[in-house]
Each structure stands twice: as structure tokens, then as C-alpha cells.
Amino acid sequence: MGVKLIGTTNISQKIGLFSFTLPDGKSPAELGQYMAKEQICIRCGGQCAQPFHELLDKQASCRISFSIYTTKDDISKFFDIVKIYLAK
């Protein structure tokens, strides 16, 4: 099982920000460290939403934001790192 997006899947209601949870046994903080080594910054942790995380039965989540300076290479690198992390 892979990541699970938090929120709507309706693309017309999305903005350049995606929050997601990882499968049990995978650490958002560890994923964030892998991303940082590759110069990809994501937010990981409780994100001031602990009651929401309790509802999801998760201790933490990850969030990635896209902006005008985000390149296609950045996005590809992000997905490559997630795949590698989930496979280990």
C-alpha cells in the first residue's frame, strides 16, 4: 500500500498543496530527511492538527506545496524518492 492523499480528490477543488499519510511503519520525519538530502522540502509531522491525525489514526502526515519555481524535475524527484522510501 502506498501514500494516501488527505482531502478531496476533485481536481477542480485542489490548490498547489497536497497532504498525505504514509503506510503504518513508515515515518513522515524520515521521509522528510530523505527529501531534504535531495533538496526537496516537504513539511512532516503533526502540523498543528493533532486531533485530525487522531481521527485518521495517524500520528503525523506530510505536505508538499507547489509554486511557480517548482520544476518538473523537482516533481519527478519527489515521486522517485517516495517510491524508493516506500520500497525499503
| For residue 83, pLDDT beyond 90 | yes
pLDDT of residue 1: 64
Span of 3-12, 24-33, 79-88 with lowest mean pLDDT: 3-12
Report which residue type is found at 2: G
Q: Which residues pair with 61 in a beta bridge?
A: 45
What's the predicted TM-score (pTM) here?
0.84
pLDDT tens-digit readout, 8-49:
888 888 888 888 988 988 999 999 999 999 899 998 887 777
Q: Grid coordinates standing for 11?
A: 481536481
Cβ–Cβ under 8 Å, residues 22 and 3: yes
If you average pLDDT over residues 57-72, what whole number do you get? 88
Cβ–Cβ under 8 Å, residues 20 and 4: yes
CATH numbers and ranges of domains, the chain? 4-87 (3.90.1150.10)
Cβ–Cβ under 8 Å, residues 29 and 44: yes
